[in-house]
Amino acid sequence: MRQKSSRKGKGSGSGTKRPPGRPRSEPARIAILRSALQLLGKNGFSDLTIEAVAAGAGVGKATVYRWWPNKAALIADAYASSTTRRLHFPNTGSVRADMNQQMRQVIKIFSSRRGRILAAILAAGQSDRRLITAFRERFMWPRRQEAYATLRRGILRGELRKGLDMDLLLDSLYGPIYMRFLIRHDRLTPEFVDRLCDLVLGAARPIRTKRAQSRAALAAK
């Protein structure tokens, strides 16, 4: 997903009007998200219905539609809410450590029950444009924004070279993970993440001139 301009949020001052209808209930929202994930893992996307999600959450169908316009948006939010806390990027002061730790969390999730749910979402998304669009916007795009910030810190610290294509770099880091996750031709392991980070981030380091290399060699003596 390419970089985009930041979206502007609406103000929340005293003059803001509350949406029509009854106030939304946070416990009901959480129950709906949990119900959606349970049913997705059990029945798959095509057989999942808003009516079943509402029944599992103990709410009416209208309550679900007050939060989400369709089941694609609901499923994308349900998956995001169940994984976001574990997928935040740390800020250790090292871009390699930040990316490595986050990528290790990714493969842990991919190897768990959440991974099976993700596989169902991606499979259904190939024939349901609304689902794959919702998944990109509600799950992948927020993670991508965090990744951009992590890479920018690395550039400012001089760990990565200026002017690099951050989208290509991120695709090169995460593409192999999705490849192994979906094709299953090899295992997803922490050691694989280590080698991947060394290969991709190593190629993104600043290019030193011969003079700079000579200075570094002298300083090392």
21-73 residue pLDDT tens: 455 689 999 999 999 999 998 888 889 999 999 999 999 999 999 999 999 99
As a CATH number, domain 82-205 is 1.10.357.10
Residues in the chain: 221
Express as a percent the part of the chain with pLDDT over 90. 78
Residue 89 has pLDDT above 70, yes or no: yes
Chain segment 130-157, per-residue pLDDT in tens: 999 999 999 999 999 999 999 999 999 9
State residue 17's pLDDT score: 47
Mean pLDDT of 8-15: 42
pTM: 0.81
Amino acid, single-letter form, for residue 72: A
Compute CA 221 distance to the chain's CA centroid, rounded to the nearest angstrom: 44
The structural domains of the chain, with segments of one domain joined by +, span 26-70, 82-205
When the pLDDT of each residue in the chain is averaged and rounded to a whole number, the result is: 88
Closest C-alpha to 130, from 63, 182, 76: 76
Residue in 78, 84, 80, 79 with CA at minimum distance from that of residue 29 = 78
- Round to whole Å and give the CA distance between 142 and 144: 5
CB atoms within 10 A of CB 203: 11
Which residue would you say has higher pLDDT here, 170 or 42?
Answer: 170
User: In this structure, which topology does domain 26-70 adopt according to CATH?
Assistant: Arc Repressor Mutant, subunit A (1.10.10)
